[in-house]
Structure 1
Amino acid sequence: GVVDIKYCRVRIRKIPSAKCECDTTEETVHHFLFDCPLYRRERWKMERRIGRDAKDLKYLLGTKEGMVETLLFVGDTGRLHRQFGDVHLSIPMDD
């Protein structure tokens, strides 16, 4: 499957441009998670919860704790709601 990030959709020729809505650069996974000014508040919330690990892609996508934080971030942004629905509902909170 393809994540509804513009860079991915351009690569499979679903849309003509990967330009992010923030109009600063292409919307890549890295830009979405770490740089896009549109999600500054949501990113700040994640950084408050997990500190410097919020800037570590290997942590965010390669550990259970990081994946939970990534899902919280994605849910807070609402950016992928059309593709995945409310991801908050799929986050395992017990352990």
Structure 2
Amino acid sequence: SHLHRINCVDSARCPSCGARSESVRHYLQHCPTFADARWRMRTRLGRRAEKMRTLLFTSQGLDELARYNARTGRL
């Protein structure tokens, strides 16, 4: 939805699943399209994968986040 607000995309909808609004949280934790990639990330990080703080601010979280992005082909 941020990209929509700054006119980088035409719609705030998730281009992968059609959810009303795509956010970083939606992409990382909720989008059904990426359930398999998310499962792999959670397998490696455990419950810590549920915390945005872990994904964005720890070296292990950032490593897994890079793998997740590669698996989803989104970034």
TM value normalised by structure 1: 0.72
1:17 alignment partner in structure 2: 11
Structure 1 residue 23 displacement after superposition: 1.4
**Counterpart residue number, 1:64:** 59
- Find the aligned partners of 1:11 and 1:26 in 2 and give their Cα distance: 11
Gaps of 5+ in 2: none
Q: Aligned AA for 2:37? A: E
Provide the rounded CA distance (Å) in 2 between the counterparts of 1:66 and 1:14.
27
- Output the aligned Cα RMSD: 1.0
Q: What's 2:27 paired with?
A: 32
Measure, in 1, the Cα distance between the counterparts of 2:9 and 2:45. 35
What is the CA–CA distance in structure 2 between the aligned matches of 1:31 and 1:14, rounded to whole Å? 18
2:44 to 40, 45, 49: 49
Gaps of 5+ in 1: 1-6, 81-95
How many residues are paired up? 74
Structure 1 residue runs of 4 or more that deviate by more than 2 Å after TM superposition: none
TM-score (norm 2): 0.90
Give distance in 2, aligned partners of 1:15 and 1:46. Answer: 27
- Residue identity over aligned pairs, in percent, reads 38
